[in-house]
Amino acid sequence: MSLNDTPRANRLHIGIFGKRNSGKSSLINALTEQEIALVSDTPGTTTDPVMKSMELHPIGPVVFIDTAGFDDEGDIGALRVRRTEDVLAKIDVAILILDHDGDNRQEKEWVEKLKSGKIPTIYVISKCDNGEKPEACKKWAGDFDPLVYISAKTGRGLEELRKAIESNVPEKLLREKILEDLIEEGGLALLVMPQDIQAPKGRLILPQVQTLRELLDIKCTAVSTTADGFRRTLDTLKKAPDLIITDSQCFDMVYKYKPEESALTSFSVLFAAYKGDLDVFVEGASSLDYMTEKSRVLIAEACTHVPLSEDIGTVKIPRALHQKFGDTIEITNVYGNDFPNSEGLKKYDLIIHCGACMFNRKHVMSRIAVAEEAGVPITNYGIALAKLSGILDKIKMVHY
């Protein structure tokens, strides 16, 4: 990723849905004016959802998600449709392509799915290459709104579609600021950034990069150190930092040695508010007061890396839970998109989710909604570690 790239998690996610060979891939190529999706006359060319980050004028940075046809058949087809359904948790705007033959029963089923997810949807009649509206589709105008007639070959309707996407962008797509009012312009921030073994070699993880950039944007002085250099760095500063932002794994040590006048938070706690619902996560952490050695905990990691030694989700949080509740507490780990549905969540007493820096906010909020439907409390890594360390009421949080 170059310095000028917008992270995928911060882009508008646009999902394109329809039957096989309905023109989904052609539409993406026409909208972006690039050959980014494979086009074929053979139904079922697109199998797994394909994500592509692009700039879409005048909207800006977006992610298009090209999906398999929801009329796919057979056992493999059913799996593809299930993958297509999984996309609903990630998208901010949907484009639903309607069938020319006038049989729109499956489309109406997907309209209900999109409505239940509160996803703004634009309806498209594709392949209108002769400049006329297909007779079979004219009667749909009252049922599907906004309805746009498109020709990927001639470019008809593309500008209208871009405007429809722009007008349907959710207002609360992303929080404007990570830090909000935690530090004033020109303040001094100390970032404690241990280089986790999971971090890409030679790079910082995304929350560190985004937080550092925001500090520089508000003309703060940002000093970075690692955990083992924290006390040495404090000694070199002429004044106490206004704000200390630490990796959550270091909460105990940093809180023990921080100056009394310095506010303390963590990258994960900041992202709990930036990407999700802070109040829900804090309330979820309160369940740690009532759990026992018979409790069941689900730890959900957005990334799909292979866990290595001292991994926060597979080692450090489980270790803290075992220390508090004993060895018999049951802990399950899931990664990437492997998140149970509401029925599957009901067996757990608590969900602890990572900071979700690789997810867009819609994806995180969808998981919160599934947890609430199941009646299971949910929190995140940083808030859970602060609670287990006994300092949750001592740290600073952003309340939007």
- pLDDT computed for residue 98 by the predictor: 82
pLDDT averaged over every residue in the chain: 85
- 185 pLDDT band, cuts 50/70/90, is very high
Do the domain assignments include residue 153?
yes
Residue 136 has pLDDT above 60, yes or no: no
CA distance 28 to 66: 8
Q: Is the domain of 149 the same as that of 203?
A: no
Q: Is the domain of 289 the same as that of 386?
A: yes
What's the mean pLDDT in 358-370? 93
CA distance 225 to 295: 37
Q: Is the domain of 243 the same as that of 326?
A: no
Total domains present in the chain: 3
Q: Is the domain of 204 the same as that of 82?
A: no
Domain boundary among 243, 270, 297: 270
The residue that leads in pLDDT, 359 or 309, is 359
- pLDDT computed for residue 103 by the predictor: 65
Domain boundary among 205, 236, 270: 270
Q: Is the domain of 160 the same as that of 195?
A: no
Contact 237, 257 (CB under 8 A): no
What's the mean pLDDT in 287-295? 95
Tell me the β-bridge partners of 215: none
Q: Is the domain of 196 the same as that of 120?
A: no
Q: Is the domain of 201 the same as that of 314?
A: no
Residue 367, exposed/middle/buried by CB under 10 A (0-12, 13-18, 19+)? buried
Domain that holds residue 112: 8-167
- pLDDT computed for residue 140 by the predictor: 61
What's the mean pLDDT in 145-164? 85
Q: Is the domain of 265 the same as that of 299?
A: no
Residue 39 has pLDDT above 70, yes or no: no
Q: Is the domain of 39 the same as that of 114?
A: yes
Q: Is the domain of 307 the same as that of 249?
A: no
The amino acid at 244: I
Q: Is the domain of 265 the same as that of 284?
A: no
Residue 296 has pLDDT above 90, yes or no: yes
